[in-house]
Amino acid sequence: MIVVRVAIDMRTPTELTEVFRAQGLKVTPQREAVFRALVDNGSHPTAESVHAAVTAEMPSVSLRTVYQVLNDLTRMGEIHALELGTGAARFDPNVDAHHHLVCTRCGKVRDVYVEPVTVPASAAGFAVDSAEVVFRGLCDDCQT
């Protein structure tokens, strides 16, 4: 059974600011603009689309700065970087255990919650610690 629902475990910009401070990183207005662009963003944006959203508000922010913030947040485990075969890394502020629906035509990505994937403790000698499932097909818009 597949259930699509809105993520509940997303950080607020205030929480991300605190996480950054706790790591001894300076919270600049540019970084805060990146936090705001990510929060409640269920589209799994690329760095480029985060950059586009940020520069709409603050034109001076460089793509390099956006990448740096995304990489810092990924390293801290606050967001996930995903390779979904859509041509560019996608960033996911939903760190709940979930899987993804990927449109093979337009690259749209949606979260999907399915029964947990069971992985044998040791499969072919691999010590498995995570598993993700990608469902590929056409999204609602691309089917018409």
Contact at 8 Å (CB) between 35 and 13?
yes
Extended strands (E) in 1-141: 80-82, 90-92, 99-103, 109-112, 122-123, 126-127, 134-137
Comparing CB distances to Zn ion, the nearer of 65 and 86 is 86
Q: Is 101 in the site for Zn ion (CB under 5 A)?
A: no
Contact at 8 Å (CB) between 95 and 126?
no
Q: Taking phi first (over 0 means left), then psi (-120 to 50 degrees means alpha), and beta for anything else, what does residue 64 get?
A: alpha
Q: Is 117 in the site for Zn ion (CB under 5 A)?
A: no
Comparing CB distances to Zn ion, the nearer of 19 and 82 is 82
Among 123, 131, 133, 142, indicate the residue that binds Zn ion (CB under 5 A): 142
Closest CA to 134 of 99, 103, 108, 105: 99
Alpha carbon of residue 56 to chain centroid: 20
Query: CB of 36: closest distance to Zn ion in angstroms?
Result: 19
Query: CB of 129: closest distance to Zn ion in angstroms?
Result: 18
Q: Is 92 in the site for Zn ion (CB under 5 A)?
A: yes
Give the Cα separation of 67 and 70 in Å (integer): 5
Q: Is 111 in the site for Zn ion (CB under 5 A)?
A: yes
Q: Is 110 in the site for Zn ion (CB under 5 A)?
A: no
Q: Which window, 25-33, 58-66, 67-75, 111-119, contacts Zn ion (CB under 5 A)?
A: 111-119
Q: Is 103 in the site for Zn ion (CB under 5 A)?
A: yes
Query: What is the binding site for Zn ion (CB under 5 A)?
Result: 92, 94, 103, 105-106, 108, 111, 139, 142
